[in-house]
Structure 1
Amino acid sequence: MKIPANFDWPAGLREFKQSDTERYVFETMDTATQCAAECGRPLLQTDSKAITVDVFTNEPVQDGVIPVRRFKPYVTHATCKGSELTVRRDPGLAIPAEKDVTWVSATMIVGGTEKIPIVVYRIAGSDQISTAFGERVDVQAEVMLGAGFALITDAEMWSLLTVVGEHGPTEQAYARWADARHLQLVVIHDSEEDVVVSVDIDDDMFREAAAAIGEVLWVTGTGVELDIDNGTFVLERAAARGTLLAATTPIR
Protein backbone atom coordinates (compact mmCIF):
# COMPACT_ATOMS: atom_id res chain seq x y z
CA MET A 1 0.00 0.00 0.00
CA LYS A 2 1.35 3.40 -0.98
CA ILE A 3 1.16 6.12 1.67
CA PRO A 4 0.05 9.51 0.21
CA ALA A 5 2.74 12.17 -0.15
CA ASN A 6 0.89 14.52 2.24
CA PHE A 7 1.16 11.97 5.11
CA ASP A 8 4.20 12.52 7.37
CA TRP A 9 5.01 9.44 9.48
CA PRO A 10 8.00 8.21 11.52
CA ALA A 11 10.11 5.67 9.63
CA GLY A 12 11.05 4.01 12.94
CA LEU A 13 7.50 2.71 13.26
CA ARG A 14 8.38 -0.05 10.79
CA GLU A 15 10.54 -1.74 13.45
CA PHE A 16 7.40 -2.33 15.50
CA LYS A 17 4.64 -2.66 12.88
CA GLN A 18 6.78 -4.54 10.35
CA SER A 19 4.79 -5.60 7.25
CA ASP A 20 1.64 -3.95 8.60
CA THR A 21 3.24 -0.48 8.71
CA GLU A 22 1.77 1.01 5.52
CA ARG A 23 -1.74 -0.25 6.19
CA TYR A 24 -1.64 0.99 9.78
CA VAL A 25 -0.36 4.46 8.84
CA PHE A 26 -2.78 4.89 5.95
CA GLU A 27 -5.86 3.65 7.80
CA THR A 28 -5.13 5.66 10.94
CA MET A 29 -4.36 8.90 9.14
CA ASP A 30 -7.02 8.58 6.44
CA THR A 31 -9.84 8.09 8.96
CA ALA A 32 -8.78 10.87 11.36
CA THR A 33 -11.23 13.78 11.26
CA GLN A 34 -9.89 16.22 13.84
CA CYS A 35 -6.40 17.51 14.66
CA ALA A 36 -5.12 16.02 17.92
CA ALA A 37 -3.00 19.12 18.57
CA GLU A 38 -4.30 22.19 20.38
CA CYS A 39 -5.84 23.68 17.24
CA GLY A 40 -8.55 21.03 17.14
CA ARG A 41 -9.55 21.99 13.60
CA PRO A 42 -10.94 19.45 11.11
CA LEU A 43 -8.52 17.34 9.11
CA LEU A 44 -9.36 17.58 5.42
CA GLN A 45 -8.29 15.06 2.78
CA THR A 46 -6.11 17.68 1.10
CA ASP A 47 -4.35 18.75 4.32
CA SER A 48 -0.77 17.76 5.06
CA LYS A 49 -1.01 15.46 8.08
CA ALA A 50 1.44 13.98 10.56
CA ILE A 51 1.13 11.04 12.90
CA THR A 52 2.67 10.59 16.33
CA VAL A 53 2.64 7.04 17.69
CA ASP A 54 3.29 6.07 21.30
CA VAL A 55 4.45 2.44 21.48
CA PHE A 56 4.10 0.55 24.77
CA THR A 57 5.93 -2.78 24.95
CA ASN A 58 7.05 -5.39 27.48
CA GLU A 59 10.14 -6.22 25.41
CA PRO A 60 12.70 -7.58 25.87
CA VAL A 61 10.95 -10.64 27.31
CA GLN A 62 12.06 -13.94 28.79
CA ASP A 63 11.57 -17.26 27.01
CA GLY A 64 7.95 -18.35 27.21
CA VAL A 65 6.59 -14.80 27.59
CA ILE A 66 4.63 -13.39 24.64
CA PRO A 67 6.04 -10.06 23.47
CA VAL A 68 3.22 -7.50 23.37
CA ARG A 69 3.00 -4.07 21.82
CA ARG A 70 0.27 -1.45 22.19
CA PHE A 71 0.00 1.53 19.86
CA LYS A 72 -1.59 4.88 20.66
CA PRO A 73 -1.69 7.18 17.59
CA TYR A 74 -2.33 10.92 17.31
CA VAL A 75 -2.96 12.55 13.92
CA THR A 76 -2.36 16.28 13.51
CA HIS A 77 -1.91 18.89 10.84
CA ALA A 78 1.73 18.78 9.77
CA THR A 79 1.94 22.49 10.51
CA CYS A 80 0.77 21.90 14.09
CA LYS A 81 3.14 19.05 14.88
CA GLY A 82 5.57 16.87 12.96
CA SER A 83 5.56 13.08 13.07
CA GLU A 84 7.12 11.40 16.10
CA LEU A 85 7.64 7.93 17.57
CA THR A 86 7.96 7.32 21.31
CA VAL A 87 8.71 3.92 22.88
CA ARG A 88 7.90 3.17 26.49
CA ARG A 89 9.00 -0.05 28.17
CA ASP A 90 6.49 -1.69 30.51
CA PRO A 91 7.56 -5.16 31.76
CA GLY A 92 4.07 -5.71 33.20
CA LEU A 93 2.30 -5.32 29.86
CA ALA A 94 0.26 -8.44 29.02
CA ILE A 95 -2.45 -9.76 26.74
CA PRO A 96 -5.94 -8.57 27.79
CA ALA A 97 -7.55 -10.82 30.38
CA GLU A 98 -10.95 -12.48 30.18
CA LYS A 99 -12.61 -9.52 31.88
CA ASP A 100 -11.71 -7.37 28.86
CA VAL A 101 -13.88 -9.42 26.50
CA THR A 102 -17.07 -7.97 25.01
CA TRP A 103 -19.55 -10.39 23.43
CA VAL A 104 -23.05 -11.04 22.15
CA SER A 105 -24.78 -14.40 21.71
CA ALA A 106 -27.59 -15.49 19.42
CA THR A 107 -29.20 -18.50 17.80
CA MET A 108 -29.22 -18.53 14.00
CA ILE A 109 -31.68 -20.61 12.00
CA VAL A 110 -30.22 -21.95 8.75
CA GLY A 111 -31.60 -24.30 6.15
CA GLY A 112 -35.09 -23.50 7.38
CA THR A 113 -34.88 -25.64 10.51
CA GLU A 114 -31.33 -26.10 11.81
CA LYS A 115 -30.47 -23.86 14.74
CA ILE A 116 -26.85 -22.81 15.29
CA PRO A 117 -25.75 -21.18 18.58
CA ILE A 118 -23.30 -18.36 17.88
CA VAL A 119 -21.07 -16.19 20.09
CA VAL A 120 -19.44 -13.08 18.59
CA TYR A 121 -16.76 -11.55 20.78
CA ARG A 122 -14.04 -8.90 20.74
CA ILE A 123 -11.13 -8.46 23.12
CA ALA A 124 -10.87 -4.85 24.26
CA GLY A 125 -7.89 -3.11 22.68
CA SER A 126 -7.00 -6.03 20.43
CA ASP A 127 -6.72 -3.69 17.45
CA GLN A 128 -3.81 -1.98 19.25
CA ILE A 129 -1.81 -5.07 20.14
CA SER A 130 0.87 -6.74 18.07
CA THR A 131 3.22 -9.64 18.63
CA ALA A 132 6.82 -9.01 17.73
CA PHE A 133 6.87 -11.96 15.34
CA GLY A 134 4.74 -12.89 12.37
CA GLU A 135 2.58 -10.92 10.00
CA ARG A 136 -0.54 -10.26 12.04
CA VAL A 137 -1.47 -7.08 13.84
CA ASP A 138 -3.04 -8.50 16.98
CA VAL A 139 -2.33 -11.29 19.41
CA GLN A 140 -5.92 -12.50 19.22
CA ALA A 141 -5.70 -13.27 15.50
CA GLU A 142 -2.44 -15.18 15.87
CA VAL A 143 -3.73 -17.25 18.80
CA MET A 144 -7.04 -18.14 17.17
CA LEU A 145 -5.49 -19.02 13.81
CA GLY A 146 -3.23 -21.38 15.69
CA ALA A 147 -6.33 -22.86 17.32
CA GLY A 148 -7.80 -23.81 13.97
CA PHE A 149 -9.99 -20.78 13.32
CA ALA A 150 -10.51 -19.84 9.66
CA LEU A 151 -9.72 -16.42 8.21
CA ILE A 152 -12.93 -14.97 6.73
CA THR A 153 -12.65 -12.46 3.87
CA ASP A 154 -16.37 -11.95 3.19
CA ALA A 155 -18.49 -10.57 6.05
CA GLU A 156 -21.74 -11.92 4.55
CA MET A 157 -23.00 -14.54 6.99
CA TRP A 158 -23.69 -17.23 4.41
CA SER A 159 -20.13 -16.93 3.11
CA LEU A 160 -18.82 -17.19 6.66
CA LEU A 161 -20.89 -20.32 7.31
CA THR A 162 -19.66 -21.86 4.06
CA VAL A 163 -15.99 -21.34 4.93
CA VAL A 164 -16.47 -22.61 8.47
CA GLY A 165 -18.40 -25.62 7.19
CA GLU A 166 -15.62 -26.51 4.75
CA HIS A 167 -13.05 -26.39 7.55
CA GLY A 168 -15.15 -28.44 9.94
CA PRO A 169 -14.98 -28.19 13.76
CA THR A 170 -11.53 -27.27 15.03
CA GLU A 171 -9.56 -29.88 16.93
CA GLN A 172 -7.46 -27.31 18.82
CA ALA A 173 -10.34 -25.68 20.71
CA TYR A 174 -13.58 -26.67 22.35
CA ALA A 175 -16.47 -25.21 24.32
CA ARG A 176 -17.54 -26.32 27.76
CA TRP A 177 -20.16 -25.34 30.30
CA ALA A 178 -18.45 -24.18 33.49
CA ASP A 179 -21.91 -24.37 35.04
CA ALA A 180 -25.51 -24.15 33.80
CA ARG A 181 -25.09 -20.52 32.64
CA HIS A 182 -21.43 -19.94 31.85
CA LEU A 183 -19.95 -21.12 28.55
CA GLN A 184 -16.20 -21.11 28.02
CA LEU A 185 -14.02 -21.25 24.90
CA VAL A 186 -10.92 -23.32 25.62
CA VAL A 187 -7.85 -23.33 23.35
CA ILE A 188 -5.32 -26.16 23.40
CA HIS A 189 -1.67 -25.19 22.83
CA ASP A 190 1.29 -27.50 23.45
CA SER A 191 -1.00 -29.79 25.47
CA GLU A 192 -1.92 -26.86 27.72
CA GLU A 193 -5.51 -25.58 27.91
CA ASP A 194 -6.34 -21.88 28.24
CA VAL A 195 -9.79 -20.32 28.70
CA VAL A 196 -9.98 -17.57 26.07
CA VAL A 197 -13.55 -16.40 26.64
CA SER A 198 -16.17 -17.00 29.32
CA VAL A 199 -19.71 -15.82 28.57
CA ASP A 200 -22.91 -15.75 30.59
CA ILE A 201 -25.66 -17.37 28.49
CA ASP A 202 -29.15 -16.48 29.72
CA ASP A 203 -30.92 -17.79 26.64
CA ASP A 204 -32.88 -21.05 26.65
CA MET A 205 -32.98 -21.21 22.83
CA PHE A 206 -29.18 -20.96 22.68
CA ARG A 207 -28.72 -23.71 25.27
CA GLU A 208 -31.25 -25.97 23.54
CA ALA A 209 -29.55 -25.50 20.15
CA ALA A 210 -26.13 -26.15 21.69
CA ALA A 211 -27.38 -29.35 23.31
CA ALA A 212 -29.04 -30.49 20.06
CA ILE A 213 -26.02 -30.13 17.74
CA GLY A 214 -23.20 -30.30 20.29
CA GLU A 215 -21.33 -27.38 18.74
CA VAL A 216 -20.95 -23.60 19.01
CA LEU A 217 -19.99 -21.14 16.28
CA TRP A 218 -17.47 -18.57 17.52
CA VAL A 219 -16.74 -15.37 15.57
CA THR A 220 -14.08 -12.82 16.52
CA GLY A 221 -11.56 -10.33 15.16
CA THR A 222 -10.14 -6.84 15.28
CA GLY A 223 -12.82 -4.42 14.11
CA VAL A 224 -15.85 -6.54 15.01
CA GLU A 225 -18.61 -4.09 15.99
CA LEU A 226 -21.02 -5.11 18.74
CA ASP A 227 -24.26 -3.58 20.01
CA ILE A 228 -24.58 -5.11 23.46
CA ASP A 229 -27.99 -3.60 24.19
CA ASN A 230 -29.59 -5.03 21.06
CA GLY A 231 -27.43 -8.13 20.78
CA THR A 232 -26.39 -7.34 17.19
CA PHE A 233 -23.04 -7.33 15.40
CA VAL A 234 -21.38 -5.97 12.24
CA LEU A 235 -18.45 -7.83 10.67
CA GLU A 236 -17.56 -5.76 7.59
CA ARG A 237 -14.75 -3.75 9.21
CA ALA A 238 -13.04 -6.85 10.58
CA ALA A 239 -13.29 -8.58 7.20
CA ALA A 240 -11.82 -5.55 5.43
CA ARG A 241 -8.89 -5.50 7.87
CA GLY A 242 -8.22 -9.18 7.31
CA THR A 243 -8.75 -10.18 10.95
CA LEU A 244 -12.23 -11.73 10.86
CA LEU A 245 -11.96 -15.27 12.25
CA ALA A 246 -14.53 -17.99 12.89
CA ALA A 247 -14.79 -21.64 13.80
CA THR A 248 -17.18 -24.17 15.20
CA THR A 249 -16.06 -26.05 18.29
CA PRO A 250 -17.46 -29.17 19.87
CA ILE A 251 -19.01 -28.89 23.32
CA ARG A 252 -17.35 -31.15 25.88
Structure 2
Amino acid sequence: MVWRALAILLTLLCVCRAYPAAAQDSGQVCFDPGTTRLTPEGYVEVRRIAARIGAAVGPTHIVQRRPAGLGETLSLNDRRRYEIRLELRREGVDFGRMEVLEGGVEESDCLTVEIDRSRSFGGLWHYWGPYFASGDDAISADQRETMRSIVADYRPGETKYCIEAHTDTVGSVGANMDLSRRRAENIALELVRQGVRWEDTQVRWYGETRLARPTVDEVAEPLNRRSFVDVRRACAAGR
Protein backbone atom coordinates (compact mmCIF):
# COMPACT_ATOMS: atom_id res chain seq x y z
CA MET A 1 0.00 0.00 0.00
CA VAL A 2 2.84 2.36 0.84
CA TRP A 3 4.53 1.82 -2.53
CA ARG A 4 1.20 2.28 -4.31
CA ALA A 5 0.59 5.55 -2.47
CA LEU A 6 4.06 6.77 -3.38
CA ALA A 7 3.48 5.89 -7.03
CA ILE A 8 0.23 7.85 -7.07
CA LEU A 9 1.95 10.83 -5.41
CA LEU A 10 4.78 10.78 -7.97
CA THR A 11 2.25 10.63 -10.80
CA LEU A 12 0.41 13.64 -9.42
CA LEU A 13 3.65 15.57 -9.07
CA CYS A 14 4.52 14.85 -12.69
CA VAL A 15 1.10 15.99 -13.83
CA CYS A 16 1.41 19.21 -11.80
CA ARG A 17 4.80 19.93 -13.33
CA ALA A 18 3.48 19.33 -16.83
CA TYR A 19 0.35 21.47 -16.31
CA PRO A 20 1.02 24.55 -14.14
CA ALA A 21 -1.78 25.72 -11.85
CA ALA A 22 -1.73 29.23 -13.31
CA ALA A 23 -3.84 28.90 -16.43
CA GLN A 24 -2.21 31.76 -18.28
CA ASP A 25 -0.52 32.38 -21.58
CA SER A 26 1.77 35.39 -21.90
CA GLY A 27 3.77 37.29 -24.47
CA GLN A 28 6.13 40.25 -24.73
CA VAL A 29 5.12 43.20 -26.92
CA CYS A 30 8.17 45.34 -27.63
CA PHE A 31 8.59 48.96 -28.74
CA ASP A 32 11.27 51.00 -30.41
CA PRO A 33 13.44 52.42 -27.58
CA GLY A 34 11.93 55.51 -25.96
CA THR A 35 8.83 55.57 -28.21
CA THR A 36 5.28 54.23 -28.41
CA ARG A 37 5.94 52.59 -31.80
CA LEU A 38 5.65 48.84 -31.77
CA THR A 39 8.52 46.96 -33.35
CA PRO A 40 7.69 44.69 -36.33
CA GLU A 41 7.99 41.76 -33.94
CA GLY A 42 5.65 43.61 -31.55
CA TYR A 43 2.91 43.72 -34.18
CA VAL A 44 3.38 40.01 -34.88
CA GLU A 45 3.11 39.28 -31.16
CA VAL A 46 -0.10 41.32 -30.87
CA ARG A 47 -1.65 39.27 -33.68
CA ARG A 48 -0.57 36.04 -31.98
CA ILE A 49 -2.01 37.18 -28.65
CA ALA A 50 -5.28 38.26 -30.28
CA ALA A 51 -5.63 34.82 -31.85
CA ARG A 52 -5.04 33.12 -28.50
CA ILE A 53 -7.54 35.41 -26.75
CA GLY A 54 -10.21 34.14 -29.11
CA ALA A 55 -9.96 30.72 -27.48
CA ALA A 56 -9.74 32.00 -23.88
CA VAL A 57 -12.58 32.58 -21.45
CA GLY A 58 -10.91 35.12 -19.20
CA PRO A 59 -9.68 38.69 -19.63
CA THR A 60 -6.34 39.84 -20.99
CA HIS A 61 -3.93 41.52 -18.58
CA ILE A 62 -1.54 44.20 -19.80
CA VAL A 63 1.06 44.49 -17.06
CA GLN A 64 4.35 46.24 -16.27
CA ARG A 65 3.38 49.84 -15.72
CA ARG A 66 3.65 52.55 -13.09
CA PRO A 67 0.22 53.44 -11.68
CA ALA A 68 -0.79 56.92 -12.87
CA GLY A 69 -2.65 58.72 -10.08
CA LEU A 70 -5.24 61.42 -10.54
CA GLY A 71 -3.75 64.44 -12.25
CA GLU A 72 -0.36 62.82 -12.92
CA THR A 73 1.29 62.82 -16.30
CA LEU A 74 1.11 59.53 -18.17
CA SER A 75 4.37 57.62 -18.20
CA LEU A 76 5.89 56.18 -21.37
CA ASN A 77 4.63 52.73 -20.43
CA ASP A 78 1.14 54.09 -19.77
CA ARG A 79 1.12 55.37 -23.35
CA ARG A 80 2.48 52.07 -24.61
CA ARG A 81 -0.27 50.25 -22.77
CA TYR A 82 -2.87 52.26 -24.71
CA GLU A 83 -1.14 51.43 -27.98
CA ILE A 84 -1.35 47.73 -27.17
CA ARG A 85 -5.04 48.12 -26.34
CA LEU A 86 -5.69 49.87 -29.64
CA GLU A 87 -3.79 47.25 -31.64
CA LEU A 88 -5.59 44.39 -29.90
CA ARG A 89 -8.92 46.10 -30.64
CA ARG A 90 -7.95 46.42 -34.30
CA GLU A 91 -7.39 42.66 -34.23
CA GLY A 92 -10.95 42.15 -32.99
CA VAL A 93 -10.47 41.91 -29.20
CA ASP A 94 -13.18 43.62 -27.13
CA PHE A 95 -11.95 46.32 -24.78
CA GLY A 96 -13.93 44.59 -22.05
CA ARG A 97 -11.41 41.77 -22.17
CA MET A 98 -8.46 44.03 -21.41
CA GLU A 99 -7.44 44.80 -17.84
CA VAL A 100 -4.39 46.62 -16.53
CA LEU A 101 -2.25 45.22 -13.74
CA GLU A 102 0.22 47.37 -11.85
CA GLY A 103 3.80 46.21 -11.46
CA GLY A 104 6.96 45.58 -13.40
CA VAL A 105 9.81 47.90 -14.21
CA GLU A 106 9.59 51.19 -16.06
CA GLU A 107 12.88 50.87 -17.93
CA SER A 108 11.95 47.90 -20.15
CA ASP A 109 11.02 48.45 -23.80
CA CYS A 110 8.72 45.41 -23.69
CA LEU A 111 5.38 45.03 -21.90
CA THR A 112 4.02 41.72 -20.70
CA VAL A 113 0.56 40.67 -21.90
CA GLU A 114 -1.08 37.77 -20.09
CA ILE A 115 -4.18 35.83 -21.11
CA ASP A 116 -5.98 34.76 -17.95
CA ARG A 117 -8.05 31.61 -18.42
CA SER A 118 -8.97 31.29 -14.77
CA ARG A 119 -11.86 33.79 -14.70
CA SER A 120 -14.96 34.24 -16.79
CA PHE A 121 -15.46 37.13 -19.20
CA GLY A 122 -18.57 39.27 -18.86
CA GLY A 123 -18.50 41.04 -22.22
CA LEU A 124 -19.51 44.60 -21.18
CA TRP A 125 -17.11 47.49 -20.86
CA HIS A 126 -17.07 51.17 -20.11
CA TYR A 127 -14.60 53.99 -19.61
CA TRP A 128 -14.02 55.84 -16.35
CA GLY A 129 -12.64 59.29 -16.78
CA PRO A 130 -11.36 61.76 -17.33
CA TYR A 131 -11.09 63.18 -13.83
CA PHE A 132 -10.94 66.97 -13.64
CA ALA A 133 -8.95 69.53 -11.70
CA SER A 134 -10.85 71.47 -9.06
CA GLY A 135 -13.22 73.97 -10.67
CA ASP A 136 -11.95 73.10 -14.17
CA ASP A 137 -13.72 71.66 -17.21
CA ALA A 138 -10.67 71.25 -19.46
CA ILE A 139 -9.52 67.88 -20.77
CA SER A 140 -5.76 67.48 -20.63
CA ALA A 141 -3.56 66.23 -23.46
CA ASP A 142 -2.99 62.96 -21.58
CA GLN A 143 -6.71 62.48 -21.14
CA ARG A 144 -7.36 63.14 -24.82
CA GLU A 145 -4.76 60.50 -25.61
CA THR A 146 -6.44 57.87 -23.44
CA MET A 147 -9.83 58.64 -24.99
CA ARG A 148 -8.55 57.27 -28.29
CA SER A 149 -9.29 53.81 -26.94
CA ILE A 150 -13.06 54.34 -26.85
CA VAL A 151 -13.15 55.67 -30.42
CA ALA A 152 -11.18 52.80 -31.98
CA ASP A 153 -14.31 50.65 -32.28
CA TYR A 154 -16.71 53.43 -33.27
CA ARG A 155 -19.37 52.58 -35.85
CA PRO A 156 -21.43 55.61 -36.95
CA GLY A 157 -25.09 55.21 -36.15
CA GLU A 158 -24.48 51.99 -34.19
CA THR A 159 -22.18 53.04 -31.34
CA LYS A 160 -23.54 55.43 -28.71
CA TYR A 161 -21.42 57.29 -26.14
CA CYS A 162 -23.42 57.88 -22.97
CA ILE A 163 -21.56 60.55 -20.98
CA GLU A 164 -22.05 61.53 -17.35
CA ALA A 165 -20.11 64.18 -15.42
CA HIS A 166 -19.95 65.18 -11.76
CA THR A 167 -18.30 67.65 -9.37
CA ASP A 168 -17.17 67.83 -5.76
CA THR A 169 -18.85 70.09 -3.20
CA VAL A 170 -16.64 73.17 -3.66
CA GLY A 171 -18.87 76.04 -4.80
CA SER A 172 -22.63 76.49 -4.93
CA VAL A 173 -25.03 73.78 -6.03
CA GLY A 174 -26.02 75.79 -9.11
CA ALA A 175 -22.44 76.54 -10.13
CA ASN A 176 -21.47 72.90 -9.78
CA MET A 177 -24.41 71.77 -11.90
CA ASP A 178 -23.24 74.13 -14.64
CA LEU A 179 -19.64 72.97 -14.23
CA SER A 180 -20.62 69.33 -14.64
CA ARG A 181 -22.60 70.24 -17.76
CA ARG A 182 -19.51 71.86 -19.30
CA ARG A 183 -17.42 68.83 -18.40
CA ALA A 184 -19.87 66.45 -20.06
CA GLU A 185 -20.11 68.63 -23.17
CA ASN A 186 -16.32 68.95 -23.42
CA ILE A 187 -15.97 65.16 -23.34
CA ALA A 188 -18.53 64.93 -26.14
CA LEU A 189 -16.70 67.62 -28.12
CA GLU A 190 -13.42 65.72 -27.77
CA LEU A 191 -15.08 62.55 -29.04
CA VAL A 192 -16.38 64.54 -32.01
CA ARG A 193 -12.87 65.85 -32.69
CA GLN A 194 -11.73 62.23 -32.80
CA GLY A 195 -14.33 61.30 -35.41
CA VAL A 196 -17.57 60.58 -33.52
CA ARG A 197 -20.77 62.13 -34.85
CA TRP A 198 -22.40 64.53 -32.41
CA GLU A 199 -25.72 62.67 -32.68
CA ASP A 200 -23.99 59.53 -31.41
CA THR A 201 -23.24 61.18 -28.06
CA GLN A 202 -25.57 61.81 -25.15
CA VAL A 203 -24.59 64.01 -22.22
CA ARG A 204 -25.92 64.09 -18.68
CA TRP A 205 -24.64 66.08 -15.74
CA TYR A 206 -25.32 65.83 -12.02
CA GLY A 207 -23.23 68.47 -10.27
CA GLU A 208 -22.60 67.53 -6.65
CA THR A 209 -25.81 65.48 -6.28
CA ARG A 210 -24.18 62.04 -6.74
CA LEU A 211 -20.91 61.98 -4.88
CA ALA A 212 -18.63 58.98 -5.33
CA ARG A 213 -17.11 59.78 -1.92
CA PRO A 214 -19.64 61.62 0.28
CA THR A 215 -18.25 64.74 1.96
CA VAL A 216 -19.53 67.82 3.70
CA ASP A 217 -19.84 71.07 1.77
CA GLU A 218 -16.76 72.84 0.33
CA VAL A 219 -14.50 69.76 0.26
CA ALA A 220 -12.20 69.40 -2.76
CA GLU A 221 -12.43 65.64 -3.32
CA PRO A 222 -10.73 64.38 -6.54
CA LEU A 223 -12.86 61.22 -6.75
CA ASN A 224 -16.00 63.34 -7.00
CA ARG A 225 -14.67 65.30 -9.99
CA ARG A 226 -15.23 62.28 -12.19
CA SER A 227 -16.85 61.46 -15.48
CA PHE A 228 -18.10 58.25 -17.03
CA VAL A 229 -18.54 57.16 -20.64
CA ASP A 230 -20.69 54.11 -21.29
CA VAL A 231 -20.27 52.70 -24.81
CA ARG A 232 -23.39 50.93 -25.99
CA ARG A 233 -25.82 50.53 -28.88
CA ALA A 234 -28.30 52.79 -27.10
CA CYS A 235 -28.15 54.95 -23.98
CA ALA A 236 -30.37 54.00 -21.06
CA ALA A 237 -33.00 56.36 -19.70
CA GLY A 238 -31.78 59.00 -17.28
CA ARG A 239 -31.11 57.82 -13.73
Q: TM exceeds 0.5?
A: no
Larger strand proportion of the pair: 1
- Scaled by the length of structure 2, the TM-score of the pair is 0.26
Larger relative CO (CA 8 A, sep 6+): 1 or 2?
2
